[in-house]
Each structure stands twice: as C-alpha cells, then as structure tokens.
Amino acid sequence: MQRPGFERHGADRESSLGVYSPAMERLVGVAARVAEVDSNVLIIGESGVGKERLARFIHDTSPRSNGPFVPVNCGALPDALFESELFGHVRGAFTGAISDRPGLFEAADKGTLLLDEVGEVPLPLQVKLLRALQEHEIRRVGENRQRKVTARVIAATNRDLAQDVKERLFRRDLFYRLNVVQLEIPPLRERPEDLRGLAASILVRVAGQMRRPITGYTPDAFEQILRYPWPGNVRELENAVERACVLATAELIDVDDLPDEVRHHQSLVIASEHVRPLRDVEREYILAALERNNGNRTLTAEQLEIGPATLFRKLKRYGDGPWSLLLFAEAWTRVVEFVTSI
C-alpha cells in the first residue's frame, strides 16, 4: 500500500527523504496532510538532515505544486541587503538601485517560500517578516504602497528557537506565527533503518550518474557505515558515498574507499547481529584511544577516566601489538634507572 503523498512522485521522492523507518513514515505522513492546507510550517533538525527536501516534498504534494518553490538561506544574506532581498526595492531606494526589483516573497507568489535558517533573521527585520505573514502583504524598500502576496511560507532551522525566544534573540510573536505546525526530523544516527536504505539508494543514484559499475558495499564497509554517527547527517553521507564511488577500484565499495573519519571511527554500537565479548570491545577501544594520542598513556588514562596504573595493567594483559614493546621498553628503562641509582 502506497503512503499518502508518494503516488505522484514514486520511489525516488521516498528514498531521497530517507523514509525507511516507522518514525520517518509517520513524519512524512503528517507532512503529506499538512501539504493539503496553507498553514505555516516550521521544520527543525540538525544541519544536513534534509529539511529542504521535506519542504520541497510538502510543496510538490500540495495544490501549489505548479507554482514556484523558492528557497532562501537567511544566514547567507547580509543584514544590509536582507530587507531588499526578501521584499524587493524600487529604483532610487538606495545607492545602486538602478531599477525596480521584486523580492523573494513576490518571486514565490502562488508557490512556496522556504526561509531556511530562519533563526538568523536580524531582530529588527523580524517585525517586518511578522507583518508579511499576518497581513499577506509586503512593501518594497523605498515604496509607499502595499503589495498583496500569496506565497506559502515554510521555515526551517537547526537552532532551538524556543530558547532563542527566552534569550530575546527571536521574537515570541514571530515564533508562534511560524510554528503553526512543527515537523522535527531526527538525526541520521537515531534512525539506523533509514541509514541502511539511504546508503543503498544514494549509491545507486551516484554510481548511475558517474556511470561506474559499482553494485554495493563489502560487509566490512557497510558495517563501518553503520558504526559512524554521521554528524553531518544525510549531506555527509552523500559526500562520503560520492567519494567512495570515485575511489573504488572494484564492483563493491570497501573500507579503504571511505573517508578517513568514517574508516577510522571506533564505536561501541552493535552494528551487526554478532555480539562480541566485552573484553574484545574494551581492548579495541583502549588501543584505538592510545593510538589517537600517539602513545601518550597519561592523556589516554585521563580521557578514559581511569588511573595510569589501571591502564598500564590492561595494556600489559593484552600483551601483543606495538604497545607490548612500548611497555617492555618502559619497564627496561625503569630497571636501568634503579640499577644506576644504587
């Protein structure tokens, strides 16, 4: 049975949103119902989770789908140009205004305007944005008359706007006006089902675009992808898969094809069906921490919140690898120091 909102766009739209987990199915189901009306929507989530994709999905499945979809990154607009970019200006309004120019509200008329990173809107301009949302009217810079606009507004942010309101960094009335319907996209690390599906679908798309005969991942590479927490979310995953497709020399992407931060990441998350003994996991983690600190046992012990003597005993118990040679050298140095002090 097809989920609401996907009938017109097929599997590509679904996979690009990462809809493989029950949580994302519920979220997209709500988004499909919201698309049918013109209520303001606030999409929240970490950078790279797909806020613009969800906003575009709402637009594409709405009665406004034949109109324009206009995304604007509020954080990328200089304060001095923000009002002009959003509301437009008339000729002579300021130095360099050589002709009338409509703003983004007018450009999105009968369509959807996405205010991405809306928390970056300068405080003095939030009043004008609030009026535009309440009255559905804008006034170009340097103009006296009001202009009606019918753009639907979707806002997105990775900031905690409720906390910004408490700290008086964001207007309370504007927050309530934007937050009619709130959609929160969970980070990728909290939805492993979506990570599995996205890793597969992104590979198919990227390999097809590059015309590379890559058909999948080796088991080790895929397990490492599941271990990594993906702080950059879907955007980082896409970049990693694209890099792997460029470097891969076989039909399957291997661990060595992954970015360094993914390849070397150590995690205690169980990414496969096999549960490993605790002593093995502890050993790997301690040795990885020691390697990261270039053999500095004092620093490693501090980070692990254990005593240096405890760390020494554990390393001595492991008894293999380069660290056993290091411990032997340290012990021999102590013996020599003791003998020479007699």
Among positive and negative, which fits the CA dihedral 93, 153, 60, 64? negative
Q: How many CA atoms lie within 13 A of 225 on its CB side?
A: 34
Q: Tell me the domain boundaries of the chain.
A: 10-186, 189-263, 278-341
Collect all residues with Cβ–Cβ distance below 8 Å to 17 and sequence separation of at least 6: 24, 28, 50, 53, 54, 57
DSSP-assigned letter for residue 275: P
27: left (phi over 0), alpha (psi -120 to 50) or beta: alpha
Whether the pTM exceeds 0.75: the reply is no
Cβ pair 103, 86 in contact under 8 A: yes
* The one-letter amino acid at 237: L
CATH 1.10.10.60 fits 278-341, yes or no: yes
Using the structure block, give the residue that is written with the tokens 């509020």: 74
As assigned by CATH, the class of the 10-186 domain is alpha beta
Using the structure block, give the residue that is written with the tokens 């271990």: 227
Residue 11: predicted pLDDT: 42
Residue 95: predicted pLDDT: 72
d(CA 97, CA 77): 17
230: left (phi over 0), alpha (psi -120 to 50) or beta: left
DSSP letters along 262-273, please? HHT----S--SS
Using the structure block, give the residue that is written with the tokens 């050298």: 329
Residue 8: predicted pLDDT: 31
Q: Provide the CATH number for the domain formed by 189-263 in this structure.
A: 1.10.8.60
Average pLDDT per block of 10 residues along the chain, 342 residues long: 32 60 91 94 93 95 95 87 83 73 89 95 90 88 84 94 93 95 92 90 93 93 91 93 94 93 71 60 75 80 81 72 51 55 60
Q: SS3 letters for 82-140? A: HHHHHHEECCCCCCCCCCCEECHHHHCCCCEEEEECHHHCCHHHHHHHHHHHHHCEECC
d(CA 250, CA 164): 50
- List b or e across 127-136, with b for residues whose CB sees 16 or more CB atoms inside 10 angstroms: ebbbebbeee
Q: How many CA atoms lie within 13 A of 155 on its CB side?
A: 26
Using the structure block, give the residue that is written with the tokens 């891969």: 248
